Amino acid sequence: MSDQKFNLFATLESSERADRYLHELFEEFDEIPLLSRSQIQRLIEQGKILVNGLPIRSRDSISRGAQVELTVPAPTEISIEPEPIPLDILYEDPHLLVVNKAPGITVHPSETQKSGTLVNALLYHIRDLSGIGGKLRPGIVHRIDKDTSGALVISKSDEAHAGLSKLFSAHHLERRYWAFCYGSPKWTEPLDFQSSIGRSPTDRKKMAVLTEGGREAHSRFTLLKSYQSPGKSPFGSWIEAKLETGRTHQVRVHLTHLGHSLLGDPVYGPPSPQQPKWKALPLSVQTAVKSLPGQALHARILAFQHPISGAELRFEAPLFPELQKLFDVLESF
């Protein structure tokens, strides 16, 4: 495999240092591989990122309209150790593997975490994953947040990886999530919600709905059921989210923006014990939420065309015990 080269223009307004700015800029382009800020810093040091034809430093600033040349080196042999971490396999053939990812497990390694990830488990199970994903992300075509569970497809061959990447870039696949949220929406018909999503201007660790910049995000929400105690307003809801795009934290950001943050979400609107939305939860629901490793979000359905055979594939991932317990408690209301 050869290096990947990209030429683009700086389209964001920002006075931030180059490494942080470029991390946000590259997220605007689906065709550019996911790059962490530390990876961008290394590419800058290696002269793999030029601005207006010249090398830069991580602390430099970049003006809007500047020409950015990015070279992503071809994948190299990984140094991640296989680990016998159990996998819930929904499907496997010579080209693909579809797993039901457990909550609490990170999908791919990083510079600070090189063990205990899904990739460590995959390397133990498969031994030889596709390399297009780069040094630390073999076989990974899309991601699910650490504390989100559900269906995830992994490529076992470079040919399958390339085909799956095209499907995801063109959004030619079906992804449906189950979300369990605070309160109950006023809309009863399916809601199409479109916005731009990017880094929060007030908290760089969070994503947010933006009025300027960011990347287009499109979700379709369907209210499946509301939950309430007798004689009281609904305290929670079961919502299906169909993703038309796949932005970072998309379901969590959109539902929080709509006023229905996810039960157990430690990042987007976690309630204090005194907040009305938490106090409205029955004690049994509070107990079930506290047992969750994170947000009550599950990638329930994944459907796509096999990149090699062309066969139509569709998978429905069962709930894991912690989320199943919450679901059972909610259903009692």
Catalytic residues: 145
Can you spell out the DSSP letters for 105-171? --SS--SS--SSSHHHHHHHHHS---STT-TT-TTBSS---TT-EEEEEEESSHHHHHHHHHHHHTT
Residue with tokens 């059921």: 225
Cβ-proximal residues to 177 (8 Å cutoff; 6+ apart), any chain? 148, 150, 240, 241, 242, 243, 251, 297, 298, 299, 300
Tell me the C-alpha distance between 217 and 240, whole Å.
16
CB atoms within 10 A of CB 193: 18
303 backbone φψ class: left, alpha, beta (φ>0; ψ -120 to 50): beta
Sign (positive/negative) of CA torsion 167, 172, 178, 184?
A: positive
